[in-house]
Amino acid sequence: MIRKALIAASVLAAGSALAEPATYTIDSAHTYPAFEADHMGGMSLWRGKFNSTAGTVKLDRAAKTGEMEITVQMGSVDFGHDKMNEHAMSADMFDVAKFPTATYKGKFSKWNGDVPTEVTGELTMHGVTKPVKLSINSFMCKANPMTKKESCGADAMAQINRADFGVNFGANFGFKMDVKLLISIEAGRS
């Protein structure tokens, strides 16, 4: 009888823990905002990522609410090409000396059951803030086998026009300004 009571209590506790709002801290070792951008007006597609991120995600899956705030260190840009990295950090493009970070702040705006499928928010980059909607392609929360804490991960994407943010290097050479953002994110419960 005592065993049954303990089992029932643990099931109730687990259920109430899942229903409570939770805060997750971005795992910078597993979170890489990446992008695809045109080179030379369709000659090739350059891909890069940012290696340094921080932030939090607040999530209440039962209430279908949540928000996120992510900061990206723009000087961590990585094309896999040192000269391109240097140029991207220069005043021609990201102007990292003047604008060292980009931030995204958003709220989960669409759900499929208790799984978020969209974030509506604002991206601030290069001193300009614009609305950006992220589509969440996949989302999962489970116990991390290494840390033993609950972790959540997602794969999201968005499309932006970099000229809208004042990053228009190459426009006069015919470079297309559309950029696809591809964001892999993992966060551990705080």
What are the DSSP calls for 123-181, one per residue?
EEETTEEEEEEEEEEEEEEEE-TTT-SEEEEEEEEEEEEGGGGT--TTGGGT---EEEE
6-47: pLDDT as tens digits: 444 444 444 444 458 999 999 999 999 999 999 999 999 999
20-189 fold:
Lipocalin (2.40.128)
In the prediction, which pLDDT does 14 show?
A: 46
* Nearest residue to 177 (alpha-carbon basis) of 169, 189, 185: 169
**Please, are residues 188 and 25 in contact by the beta-carbon 8 Å criterion?**
yes
Which residues face 141 on adjacent strands? Answer: 152
**Measured between alpha carbons, how far is 66 from 69 in angstroms, rounded to an integer?**
11
Return averaged pLDDT per consecutive 10 residues of the chain, 190 residues in all.
46 50 96 95 96 97 97 98 97 98 98 97 98 98 93 97 97 96 96
CB neighbour class for 52 (10 Å; exposed up to 12, middle 13-18, buried from 19): middle
Dihedral over Cα of 157, 163, 168, 172: its sign: positive
**Measured between alpha carbons, how far is 159 from 141 in angstroms, rounded to an integer?**
26
Q: What does the radius of gyration of the chain's CA atoms come to, in whole angstroms? A: 20
Q: List all residues 6 or more positions away from 110 whose beta carbon is below 8 Å from its beta carbon.
A: 116, 117, 118
Helices and strands of the chain, counted as H and E runs: 2, 11
pTM of the model as a whole: 0.87
Q: In this structure, are strands 22-26 and 32-39 parallel, antiparallel, or unpaired?
A: unpaired
* Nearest residue to 125 (alpha-carbon basis) of 108, 107, 100: 100
